[in-house]
Structure formats: structure tokens, C-alpha cells
Chains A and B, each alone.
Chain A
Amino acid sequence: MDFDLPLIWAAIIAFAVLAYVVLDGFDLGVGILFPLFPEKHDRDVMMNSIAPVWDGNETWLVLGGGGLMAVFPLAYATVLPALYAPIIAMLIGLIFRGVAFEYRWRTKRAEFLWNWAFAGGSMLAAFAQGIALGALVQGIPVEDRAYAGSWWDWLTPFSIVTGIAIVVGYALLGATWLVMKTHGDLAERARAIALKCCFATVGAMGVVSLWTPFLEPVYLQRWFGWPTAIFSVIVPLLVLGCLYLLITGIRDRHDAQPFVAALGLFVLGYIGIGISFYPYMVPPSLTIWEAAAPEESLAFLLAGALVLVPIILAYTGYAYWVFRGKVDPEEGYH
């Protein structure tokens, strides 16, 4: 039997990036919402709700990056120079918010500083990721195994819209996470914010979805050509379904339903992008097979990934299980 290793790896990398987007999405979202909760006690609870898991969430980003270099080195070597500025901005945002988790508890006088580092870093990282996504969707030129565009190609009206869309979307994930993990007044305000973010997210998704097919003829063909046009009907319908569950979940005061529905929205948006992209790794320049590493590399890492990824999912699930339920405001090791 013959395995299409590049295709399998494209699916695994896609999964890693999706895992990153939804997991770090909600904890970045909590940071984005920080300015809306000015009280120290609320902020302590918000931070403690993600403190035990954020590091694991961010590891998926390292897998996405490191994995890309391992199995699609040419994609890694062309996308990253193309997105130089947004990537550096994202890294700096992640530095600030990452250290804030510990520093914030180590000082009273400078606490405001690390509150800003946490909120600002989260927003910067989210916005930069959205810009990067937009720039990737609009296409990256490659010649002779190297990026062939100029240094500000990533900055377009479209990429700014995707940047905003990601910030708003992460805020939605963060708000629904807080609905699930906190009590009382904090949860109540998170609910109100979640409702607003929900409409903003769907609006932004709509704009991006309608814009995308007109960026590249390939996308247009994919969305309005037969038989793939079936997806163009199914995906929006499922989005409406998620939207319904999200709104009723918030209205009927369910704890987990809004968060799950918001995750559903993200997964659908992601699938939508995947439909546009296939079979490209770097649209419109490199297909999955052109960007792939030699078979020996793909097979070697796949052997480990098939064993290790399920184990990782198991103990990651365990870590979430240990910290299940509402956050105890008095808890935290600090």
C-alpha cells in the first residue's frame, strides 16, 4: 500500500495549527478582554483560569512552526521571510504576555505594567496572526525556492480585515471561556461581551469569506464551481447552526454551550480556508507535494507523531480535567 506522506503531513500540520488557534485563541482572548475588566480581583481570576494551561496551548504553535520546517521546509523558508514583520510582531507580543503570567504576581508597584503587557501582548499577537493569515490567503510569490515579493506585501486592506477578524474572534473565544470558567458578576459581564463579539465575529467572517474568492481565480473556482460548490452551501449552513447554539447558549445561561459553539465557528472558518487552499501549501506558488521534505524525513517523523500525538492529547486532556470546573477565586499558587 502506498501512503501519500505529504498529504498526511499536510493534514497533521493543519490539525496542529487548528489546535493552536482554538486553544491559544481563548487564552489570547482572555488577554484581549483584560481592559474591559478593570478590577484587580476579576483580572486575578481571569488570569488564573488560563494559567495552568496557556503554556501547553502555545506549544502547538511551536509544533506548527517546527513541524513545518521538518516536513515542508520550502513552505517554512518562503512563508516566514514573506511575513517577516508580522511574525516578529507576534513573537514580541507573545514574549510580553507570556512573562506577564508570572511577573504580574511578583510586584505590586509595577502590576499595571504587566497588566498592559498581558493585554497589549495578547492583542498584538492576535492581530499579527490575523495579518499573517490574510497575507497567506492573498498569496505569496515564490521563485527559485525563495520568497520573491517585497517586504510590505503583507500589508493590504484584506490582511488588516483578517487581523481585526482574528482579534474579535479570539475575544469571543475568551469571553465564552470566561462564561464557562467563572461565576457571578464576572461571568455575567463576560456573557454580555460574548454576545457582542459573536455578532462581530460572524460579521467579520462574512466579509472575509465574501472577499476571499475574489483574491485568486482558484478560490473562486473552488467556491462556485461544481462539485466543490456543495461546500459553499454546507459550510455557511453549519455556521448558522453554531451561531444559533451560541446565542441560545448565552440567552439560556448555559455554561459550556457558548464556548463549544464558538469553537465550532472557528473550526468551520478554518475548514473554509482549507477548502480554498487545497492543494496549495503556499498559495498560489507551492502545492503540498512541491513543498514537502524528502520521504525519509516525512516517514521518520510520522512514525513518532502517530504514537506521540495521541499520548499528548491524552495527557493534555488530563491536565484540563485536573483543572475542570469554575475557577476558585482564592486558588493559584502565587
Chain B
Amino acid sequence: MFESFDATMLARMQFAFTVSFHIIFPAFSIGLASYLAVLEALWLWKKDEVYLELFNFWKTIFAVTFGMGVVSGIVMSYQFGTNWSVFADKAGPIIGPLMGYEVLTAFFLEAGFLGVMLFGLNRVGPRLHFFATAMVAIGTLISATWILSANSWMQTPAGFAMNEAGQFVPVDWWAIIFNPSFPYRLVHMVLAAYLTTAFVVGACGAWHLLRQTAPRRARTMFSMAMWMAAIVAPIQIFAGDQHGLNTLEHQPAKVMGMEGHFESHPDGAPLVLFGIPNSAEKRIDYAIEVPRLGSLILKHDLNAPLAGLDTIPDELHPPVGVIFWSFRIMVGIGLAMLGIGLWSLWCRYRGTLDTDPWLHRAAVLMGPAGFVAVLAGWVTTEVGRQPFTVYGHLLTANSIAPIEAPAVSASLLAFIIVYFFVFGAGTFYILRLMARLPRDTMPELDEGPIRTAGAAAHGPASAKSHGAHHGL
């Protein structure tokens, strides 16, 4: 493997590295933006201070996350040109406008209203402020829509022709945007973002419940997060299954790799639960299989034949070892999320949601699970698309810029150092913010000496937020 560290391999590593870091932030900020909008709506509706306190708490974490998402996203938008310029020239006429619409409809919306959302409550009043929060949340969803349309087009290209210069030329924009895998991918990703956020919020709530700090706020956020887990986890598993059927139809080689089917199964394929893919020998070592279950899941028929990688030329095989495992990690975490959701329902039914320490410990443990699942899912879909950038039409090896390996390795090294330093610090600050959930406000202090000393008008954040809603 190491002898193939040419410019293409290095550029792929650089892309994989930067996009893996980047995807973490949208996965969190899509969910968090919606959560903030819900919190502010609840505050405006129910006039319960706990929602505003939670809003201000998560708003700060959102700001840090969003900042990291912006800067890592700018890197992505230039990397197509620096490292994948042939891809940019050929697929640019289709991918470019989709990303252009993302900027025009989403990025500006988010950025324009983010300032108002973070800094503007005292300047625009609660209603306009809620509007700004809603715009930020909608912006994140619109952004996901366009980027998943672009990515899906690379997976299941449609609505195009080729011109003499070798470029993909748009013929039918409707078919391009709503390409065959787009709806599945969009739903799967947005649900993943919501679940990821729910488990972070839930872990934070559970941690504070275990430490008995700020019981009311911790209870509220834990309960909200567990509702999300209980409702969305099963929907996500269903959506994932539908997405899988769609992939089998349009990218069969990817599913063969995910499922570890090196051989065709003319009368019913097994489901490989575990094993070690051996690409050299084209088999799964130490396989634990359930006979015919694979056909049942993928074809809804115990005896349906299933083609394997032996029907596809060797040079077009995706790297089975990677996607076999990443797929299992994703599914495993999905099932664990479902388990937590059901457990929380049971505790809720018995009235022990706020007191069951084992549920809380499990929830803390599951806090980062969403990120791992999202990364594993993206690895499955992106590595599974190999050896193509535009599935079936443009090979990755033919997409690379005319760059030299030393230039790519130098920039890769620079990105690795910078990212670990910058995003490591960001993660540290976010964790510290989560740990510092302020104590529940004690109303009697509001009229106390702090206020008369004149410090409250422009005092620390908690005093300021009080100033804001006293002025309602």
C-alpha cells in the first residue's frame, strides 16, 4: 500500500482528512441550530426562563462550533481547485452551480443572521431575534440540501451529457438535483445530524444530573434529548434501510463491499455479521453468517439471488476492508442509539428518567457516538464510491490536479498540524463550556446588591440575559 503514495493518494488522504474534520461541525451545527430555534420558540411561547437559559448556554457552544465549521468549510471550497482541478474543470459545470446555490441560499443567510442571533437580542427585541435564530436554522438545512444534492449526483449521476472538452454538461437540472439517491441521502444525513446533537445534549444533561448541578436545566435538556432519541432513532434505522435498497439498485458494488459479498449467491445470500475481509484472497475470513438473511434484508425474499463482486472487474472494486467495517460501526451505533431511546421510554414510564444513574452513565458514554456514526457513514458512502469520483463516469485517478507529491504532502502535513491544534483547542473549550452549566438562577438575587451596584446592566452574561427579558 505504501508504494502507492503518489500525488493522487496524498490528495485523497488530504481530502479525506479535511472533509472528515469538516463533517463533524455541520453534523453538530445542523442539529444544534434547530434545537436553539425550538428552545427560543418555547421560551417565547411558554415564557419559562429555563428555555432562555438553555438557549444562552447552547448558543455559546453553537458559536464555537459554527466558527470551526466556517473555517474548515472554506478549505473544502478551495480544495477542489488546488488538488482536484481536473475534476473541477470536468464536473464544475454541474457541481459548481449546486454549490453556488448553497452559498447564495444558505451561507449568506446563516452568516447574515448569525451576528444578529449572537449579539443582537438587546438591539432587535425577542421576536426579530427569534426570526434570526430561525433563519440560521433554516440556513443550515438548506445548506445540507444543496451539498447532499451535489454529493448524491457524484454517486448517482443523472441529467447530463458530455461535451467535446470532456466536461459534464447539464441537460436537465431537475434530474440533476433530484438524482436517484438524493432524497435518501438528505433524509439520512439530516436525521443523523439531529441524532448526533440529541446525544451530545443528552450526555451533557445526563452528566449534570449525575453531578446534581443545575437540576432543572439538566432535566429539561436530558428529557428533550431522550424524546429525540426515542422518536428519531427508529425512523433513522428505517431511512437507512431504504437508503441501502437504493444503493443496491444504483451502486451494487458498494453494497457488495459493505456486505462482504465477494462471491455471487445464486440461491439466497447470507448476512455476514462479522469477519475479516481478505481482499487478496477475495473472501471473508472467520465469517459469522446468518444464512439467507442478506437476501431477506436486501431483496425481502429468503431465496433471492444476489450478485457479488465476482461479477465486476477487479480494478472497479471498492476497498472492501474499509467499508465492511465502517458500515458495521455505523449500524452498531444506530442500534445502540435505538436501545438508549427505548430504555429512556421505559424509565419515563416508570418515572425514573431523572434518577436512573445507569441510564445517565450510558447517555454520557454515548455522547460522542453520533460523530463516530456520521464519520463511519460518510466513509462507507465515499470510499464505497471508489475508484470513481463521478460514479461510473470519471475515475478518481483521472480527476487529480497536475500537482507534485511534495506540494501535496507539505500541505497535508500543514493541515494535520493546524487542524489538530485549532480544533483540539475548540473541542477543549466546548467541553469546558458544557461542564460549566451555571447554577439555577436564584430569583432573590435579582433584586440584590449586585444589581444596585450598577454592575448588572452590562454585567456578565447571566445578568445581561435578565436585563433582556425584564425589558419584554
Contact = CB atoms under 8 A, between A and B. Distances in A.
A300 B422 CA distance: 38
A35 interface: no
Interface size class of A (residues with CB under 8 A): 35 or more
Nearest to A78: B85
A78 B425 CA distance: 35
B119 interface: yes
B403 A304 contact: no
Interface in B149-183: 163, 165, 167, 169-171, 173
Nearest to B66: A55
Contacts of A147: 85, 401-402
A88 to B, nearest CB: 5
B418 to A, nearest CB: 5
B70 A300 contact: no
A297 B97 contact: yes
Contacts of B171: 296
A61 B368 CA distance: 32
Given A77-B85, A99-B71, A67 B120 contact: no
A61 B96 contact: no
A307 B30 CA distance: 25
A311 to B, nearest CB: 9
B438 interface: no
A322 B116 contact: yes
B100 interface: yes
A146 B402 contact: yes
A95 B76 CA distance: 12
B74 A91 contact: yes
B422 A146 contact: no
Interface string A299-334: 011001100110010011011001100001011111
Interface string A35-70: 000000000000000011101101101110111011
Nearest to A317: B112
Interface in B60-82: 60, 63-64, 66-68, 70-75, 77-78, 80-82
A84 interface: yes
B115 A53 contact: yes
A209 to B, nearest CB: 29
A88 B408 CA distance: 10
Interface residues of B, number: 78
B143 to A, nearest CB: 11
A316 B89 contact: no
Nearest to B118: A333
Contact of A62 (B90, B103, B121, B425): B103
B77 A301 contact: no
A251 interface: no
B231 interface: no
B115 A293 contact: no
A297 B115 contact: no
Contacts of B89: 73-74, 76-77, 145
A81 interface: yes
A91 B75 contact: yes
Interface stretch (B201-209, B359-367, B426-434): B426-434
A11 to B, nearest CB: 15
Given A52-B118, A99-B422, A102-B63, A59 B96 contact: no
A293 B64 contact: no
Contact of A98 (B67, B103, B104, B169): B67
Contacts of A51: 115, 118-119
B111 interface: yes
A87 interface: yes
B96 A66 contact: yes
Interface centre among A56, A73, A102, A319 (most CB of B within 10 A): A73
A294 interface: yes
B74 A94 contact: yes
Contacts of B59: 333
Contact of A80 (B82, B115, B429): B82
B139 to A, nearest CB: 11
B458 A331 contact: yes
A70 B112 contact: no
A107 interface: yes
Given A76-B88, A308-B105, A322-B120, A102 B70 contact: no
Given A319-B115, A323-B119, 9 more contacts: A51-B118, A55-B70, A70-B99, A73-B92, A73-B167, A77-B88, A80-B85, A151-B407, A296-B170
30 contacts: A51-B119, A52-B116, A52-B118, A55-B111, A56-B115, A58-B70, A61-B74, A62-B103, A63-B100, A70-B97, A70-B100, A73-B88, A77-B81, A79-B81, A84-B403, A84-B411, A95-B422, A99-B67, A103-B425, A110-B425, A147-B402, A294-B93, A296-B170, A297-B169, A297-B170, A300-B97, A300-B173, A305-B100, A318-B112, A333-B461
The 6 closest A-B pairs by CB, nearest first: A73-B92, A70-B96, A80-B81, A52-B115, A330-B458, A77-B89
Interface of B: 59-60, 63-64, 66-68, 70-75, 77-78, 80-82, 85-86, 88-90, 92-97, 99-105, 107-116, 118-124, 163, 165, 167, 169-171, 173, 401-404, 407, 411, 414-415, 418, 422, 425-426, 429, 432-433, 458, 461, 464
Interface of A: 51-53, 55-56, 58-59, 61-63, 65-67, 69-71, 73-74, 76-81, 84-85, 87-88, 91-92, 94-96, 98-99, 101-103, 106-107, 110, 145-147, 151, 293-294, 296-297, 300-301, 304-305, 308-309, 312, 315-316, 318-319, 322-323, 328, 330-334
